[in-house]
Structure 1
Amino acid sequence: MRISELSRRSGVSVPTIKYYIREELLPPGRLVSATQAEYDEQHLRRLRLLRALIGTRGLSVDTTRQVLLALAERGSSPHHVLGLALGAIRVGGERAARDAAETSAPAGEPDEAERSVTALLEELGWDVYKDTPAREALAETLAALRRFGVAGDWRTLLPYARLAADTARLDLDQLDGLDDPLEMAERAVVVTTLLEPALLALRRLAQEHESARRHES
C-alpha cells in the first residue's frame, strides 16, 4: 500500500508516519521509485502499536523506542511482551531514573505499607516482578490511606485483589490466539488502558445501586 492508504487504515497522519520513520520507530517502506515507497501489513501493525503506546499509554518517544527494541530482542516470550506493554517491566529511562534514585537514597527497611503489599502478594501467591510500578503504587496508596486515618492492612485489600484476579483472567482471555508479538502488545495496551475508565464507571454505578438498595425505602 502507499503511505496515503497506510495513513487512512491506521488513523495516523502522513506527517506523523514520516516522523516515526525518521525516529526509527517505524521501518521505511520498500522503494518503488525515487519518490515513492510501498508499505505492508507489518507497517500497519507497528503503527497501531505506536498509537497504543504513545497515544493511549502516554509513553514518550524514547521509552517507546526502548519497548520496541526489547520486543525485538525477546519477542518470543508472551509474558515478557505483556510485561513491557502493560508497564510491569521498567525500560530505558524509567529504569535508569529508578536506579539513580535508589543509589542516591539511603538504604532502609521496608516501611509498613511495603510490608503490607509483600504480605498480600505472598498470601495470594502472585508471581510478579519485584520492581513493578504497580507494586510501588499500591504501597503508596496504602500509606496515603493511613495518613487520612483509614485503618486497614493487606487483609483489607484481599477481597479486592481476588476480584482483580477475575478481571485479569477476562483481560488475558482476549489475547488468546494471538501469536504476533506486535499484535499482542497492541491488544494488551488497548484492552487494559481503554477498559480502565469503564471499570471505574461500573464500580461507581454499582456503588450507587448498592446505596439505593440499602438506604432507599
Structure 2
Amino acid sequence: MRLAELSKRSGVPIATIKYYLREGLLAPGRQINARTAEYDEEHLRRLRVVRALVQIGRLPVATAREVLGHIDDDSLGRTVRMGAALWALPQVPDPDGEDEFVERARAEVERMLERLGWSNAQALSTISPAYRSLVTGLAAFRRLGYDWDIELTVPYARLMHQVAVLDLDFVETHASEAERVEVAVLGTVLLEPVLSALRRVAQEEESARRYGFE
C-alpha cells in the first residue's frame, strides 16, 4: 500500500506518519522509486502500536522509541526483554533522599516480599523501577501520618499477583516473542487506567452499599 492508503487505514495523518518514520518509530517502506515507497500490513500494525503508545499512552517519542527497541530485540530472553521494555516506561520518581520514612518503607517492602515468598522480586529490588516506586509511595503515605503496614500491604500484593497471572496468561496466547512483549507493554500502558477506573467504580459501589447516598 502507498502512504496515503496507510494513512487512511490507520487514521494517522500522513505528516504524522512521516514524523514517525524520521524518528525511527516506524520502519521505512520498500522503496519503489526516489519519491515513492510501499508499505505492508506489518507497517499498519506497528503504526497502530505507535499511536497507542504516543497518543493514548502519552509517551514521549524518545520513550516510545526506546520501548519499541526493546520489543524488537530478539537477542534477549523473554523476562529480560519484557522487563527492559516495561522499565523504559515512565516511572514514579525515586525516593527523595534516605530519611526515616524511606528507610521504614524499604524495610516494610522487604518484609512483605519475604512473607509472600517473592524471591525473584527480592533479587530484582536493586534495579527494579517498580520496587523503587513502591518504596516511594509507601514512604509518602507514612510521611502524611498514615500507618500503612505489612498487614495491609500483603492482601493487596496477593490480589495484584492474581492480576499478574491473568496478564501473563493473556500474553502467552500470542505466537511470537515480539508479540508477547508488545502486548505486555500495551497491557501496561492501556490497561492500567482501566484497572484504576475499575477500582474507583468498585469503591463507589462499596461506599454506596455501606453508607448509602446521603
TM-score by length of 1: 0.78
Question: What is the match of residue 123 of structure 1?
Answer: 115
In 2: Cα distance, 1:11 partner to 1:185 partner = 24
1:37–1:113: structure 2 CA closer, same or farther, 3 Å change rule? Answer: same
SS in 1 for 2:34: coil
Deviations 1:74-99, CA, capped at 9 Å, x for gaps? 466332333234x2x348x99xxx8x
Unaligned residue ranges in structure 2 (runs of 5+): none
Q: Structure 2 vs 1, CA of residues 5 and 122 (structure 1 numbering), >3 Å: closer, same or farther?
A: farther
What residue is the counterpart of 1:38 in the other structure?
A: 38
Instruction: State how far apart, in whole Å, the 2-side matches of 1:185 and 1:6 are.
Output: 24
Q: Hey, what does 2:157 align to over in structure 1? A: 161
Unpaired stretches in structure 1, ≥5 consecutive residues: 99-104
**Percent of residue pairs bearing the same amino acid type:** 46
Please report how far the alpha carbon of residue 134 of structure 1 lies from its aligned counterpart in structure 2 after TM superposition. 1.7
CA 1:200–1:72: 2 relative to 1, 3 Å: closer
Q: What amino acid is aligned across from residue 65 of structure 1 in structure 2?
A: R
Over residues 21-56 of structure 1, what are the superposed CA-to-partner deviations in whole Å (9 max), with x where a residue is unaligned? 122222211122332211112222322232233233
After superposition, the C-alpha distances for 1:100-130 in whole angstroms (9 at most, x for unaligned) are: xxxxx89xxx711112112212222332333
* C-alpha distance in 2 between matches for 1:159 and 1:138: 15
> 1-side partners of 2:174 and 2:45: how far apart?
13
Deviation at 1:176, TM superposition (A): 2.2
Kindly indicate whether structure 1 or structure 2 has the higher relative contact order, using CA contacts under 8 Å at least 6 residues apart. 1
Q: Report the residue type matching 1:59 in the other structure.
A: L
**How many residues get paired?**
207
Assess, with a 3 A threshold, how the Cα gap between structure 1 residues 39 and 124 changes in structure 2: closer, same or farther: same
Deviation at 1:180, TM superposition (A): 3.1
Superposed displacement of residue 212, structure 1: 3.4
Within 2, Cα distance between the matches of 1:68 and 1:210? 40
Task: Tell which deviates more after alignment, 141-150 or 182-191.
Answer: 182-191
Q: 1:16 to 1:119 in 2, by over 3 A?
A: same
